[in-house]
Chains A and B, each alone.
Chain A
Amino acid sequence: MRATDRRGDCDDALYMNPRSAQETSLLARVAEGDPSAVKDVLSRYSALVWSLSSSLSKDLHEVEDVVQDIFVDVWRSAARYDPAVASEATFIATIARRRVIDRRRRAGRRVDPEPLEEELAPGADDEGLRQVELDDEALHAREVVAQLSGDRRRVLEMSVVEGLTHREIASDTGIPLGTVKSHIRRGLAEVSEKLKTRRGVMEDGS
């Protein structure tokens, strides 16, 4: 894990660190079977994957299981990584999302909504707990979501983060199924367009 300073609690502390050249070469090394890529990948992404997976359960064994599955998937899928489509962090997060949602769904489990409790819990100031470091694409995604209305944002979160089906979301929120789909569709499309625009800018500048 790349050492980072503790970054306070405000959202502005979230920042990006473009590493596109390094990122591309890292997954390419994985795809080539470079043994030295193991340490480098884990150094860069294990905390990201662990944190994304830790929403699954309080059982560390279960979290560890899914983290192992995710990284094995990363190894297996690395050859399919296309830097023109997504950053490396997004590629790995996409794999993590599939695995976490699949596990949650199979267990019939919902996300445990207790972020405030976690913030206030003893040990919240542990060195191992710090603000997440978002890569450039995640920050752009976040900007898009910040501009969405409350309903749209909530629906998108329930779908993307919690992995609920469209029907479950409609049932939970009382929003018509068609509107739920529309919110998700538009939200994802806007994020996708923003990421594509960003990649276009980066390519023009390179």
Chain B
Amino acid sequence: MMVGPGMPSRDRGMPSRDRDGLDELEAIAALEGFGVLTERQRALVDEERVRELEHAAGALFTALGRARVREAPEDAQRRLEGLLSTQVAADGQETRGRGSSHLHDTLRGLPQRGASRGDISQRDHSGSLSSEGAAVASSPEVDVAPGTGGLRPAPFLLGWVAAAALLIATVVAYGRVVSLEQRLGEGPADVRLQELVATTPDVEVLPWATDGIGGDVTWSNAKNEGFLRIDGLAVNDPAVAQYQLWIFRGLDPSAEAHPVSGGVFDVDREGQVIVPIDAQLELGRAGMFVVTVEKPGGVMVSDREDIVLVASRV
């Protein structure tokens, strides 16, 4: 959040309250999300002074916040390095391809809860949605940078693109497709759902908080397993678009840039469908489940522009 350009020249001594009742502390608080500055306040705040004070707070945060350091676990460090490397490569491609930042895209917060039933059929695709629909998801595919298909990385990025490809291979779970046909071969989903509920003490049931959609999410943190029951979502044509589940550990999607993919799935008929959740990473604790519409095969990082279902602990 920018505090505002064109600030008046002010005394750089002790902070003082301006004539609109705002001081630098409140501006810092606004930066931290504690409040919102009005346009008038933004115009009056001494941005440079606020930045100085916030940096002073940053230095104090280091000095007082933690007396001791614990190194990041090695696996977390590797994931972080892979994430940043992928982002650098993707950002380079995006910058050259269309002048926008992939980092910005991945940081985009959750848009307003969106489309209800039928919205997927209105997507701008050539295929039509059949009431009979296909029940089998398409082959696995991972999209590192949505919207960058066809772009060539700059030569200096090739090595990092290769590294990113290796990363993708190792974390393909993020965009892995759930084959309903294969899973149904393990036993009817409704039976396995009942078994999970009957045998798992910590199982939780979270209803969809989306108008016109029935059903819920059944999830066990202990088993890292669960099922979606969905009634009312539009039938999709898997050659055109597919649904993808995203699992957030917390309750604030805007603060969680990299939710875990719970797999890609199709809705092949009217009425209730039961979809097993394919969480390939240990979540520890799941806080929110979000279903988006993505291109066939799913994506590694969703732009979160087409959200059709949300279920949350709150």
Complex contact A59–B15 (CB within 8 A): no
Complex contact A33–B61 (CB within 8 A): no
Do A90 and B59 contact each other (CB < 8 Å), given the known contacts A42-B84, A129-B70?
A: yes
How would you classify the secondary structure of chain B's contact residues: helix, strand, loop or mixed?
Answer: helix
Complex contact B70–A86 (CB within 8 A): no
For A196, the chain B residues whose CB sits under 8 A away are 52
For A69, the chain B residues whose CB sits under 8 A away are 255-257
Do A166 and B255 contact each other (CB < 8 Å), given the known contacts A94-B54, A129-B69?
A: no
| Interface hit among B30-38, B172-180, B197-205 | B30-38
Complex contact B104–A101 (CB within 8 A): no
For A159, the chain B residues whose CB sits under 8 A away are 57
Within 8 A of A (CB), among B31-63: 31-34, 51-63
Do A52 and B84 contact each other (CB < 8 Å), given the known contacts A85-B52, A90-B55?
A: no
- Does B19 interact with chain A (Cβ within 8 Å)? no
Complex contact B58–A91 (CB within 8 A): yes
Complex contact B53–A59 (CB within 8 A): no
Complex contact A71–B256 (CB within 8 A): no
| Interface hit among B120-128, B129-137, B138-146, B154-162 | B154-162
Within 8 A of B (CB), among A113-155: 115, 118-119, 126, 128-135, 137-142, 145
- Does B273 interact with chain A (Cβ within 8 Å)? no
Within 8 A of B (CB), among A30-55: 33, 35, 38-39, 41-42, 46-48, 50-52, 54-55
Complex contact A128–B56 (CB within 8 A): no
Q: Select A62's contact among B14, B107, B249, beta carbons within 8 Å.
A: B249
Do A85 and B55 contact each other (CB < 8 Å), given the known contacts A134-B62, A185-B15?
A: yes
Within 8 A of B (CB), among A60-88: 60-62, 64-69, 71-73, 75-76, 85-86
| Interface hit among B74-82, B207-215, B229-237, B302-310 | B74-82
Across the two chains, which residue of chain A brings its CB closest to B1? A98
What's the nearest-Cβ distance from chain B to residue A43, in Å?
10
Do A97 and B57 contact each other (CB < 8 Å), given the known contacts A42-B81, A51-B69, A75-B88?
A: yes
Complex contact A59–B67 (CB within 8 A): no
- Does A28 interact with chain B (Cβ within 8 Å)? no
How many A-B residue contacts, CB cutoff 8 Å?
247
Q: For the complex, give the distance between the alpha carbons of A123 and B68 in Å.
A: 13
Q: For the complex, give the distance between the alpha carbons of A119 and B66 in Å.
A: 12
- Does B252 interact with chain A (Cβ within 8 Å)? yes
Complex contact B103–A97 (CB within 8 A): no
For B255, the chain A residues whose CB sits under 8 A away are 65-66, 69, 99, 102-103, 106
Complex contact A65–B256 (CB within 8 A): yes
Interface residues on A, range: 35 or more
- Does A189 interact with chain B (Cβ within 8 Å)? yes
Complex contact A131–B68 (CB within 8 A): yes
For B83, the chain A residues whose CB sits under 8 A away are 68, 71-72
Do A132 and B66 contact each other (CB < 8 Å), given the known contacts A67-B72, A163-B32?
A: yes
Do A68 and B80 contact each other (CB < 8 Å), given the known contacts A130-B69, A160-B60?
A: yes
Complex contact B85–A38 (CB within 8 A): yes
Within 8 A of A (CB), among B92-122: 92, 95, 101, 103-104, 106-107
- Does A157 interact with chain B (Cβ within 8 Å)? yes
For B69, the chain A residues whose CB sits under 8 A away are 47-48, 50-51, 129-133
Complex contact A65–B70 (CB within 8 A): no
Complex contact B56–A98 (CB within 8 A): no
What's the nearest-Cβ distance from chain A to residue B110, in Å?
13
What's the nearest-Cβ distance from chain B to residue A130, in Å?
6
Complex contact B103–A105 (CB within 8 A): no
Across the two chains, which residue of chain A brings its CB closest to B51? A85
Complex contact A140–B250 (CB within 8 A): no
Q: For the complex, give the distance between the alpha carbons of A128 and B72 in Å.
A: 8
Do A138 and B66 contact each other (CB < 8 Å), given the known contacts A67-B80, A188-B53, A195-B56?
A: no
For A102, the chain B residues whose CB sits under 8 A away are 32-33, 255
A to B CB contacts below 8 Å, 10 in the list: A52-B65, A68-B257, A98-B31, A129-B68, A139-B63, A141-B56, A141-B59, A142-B60, A185-B23, A195-B56
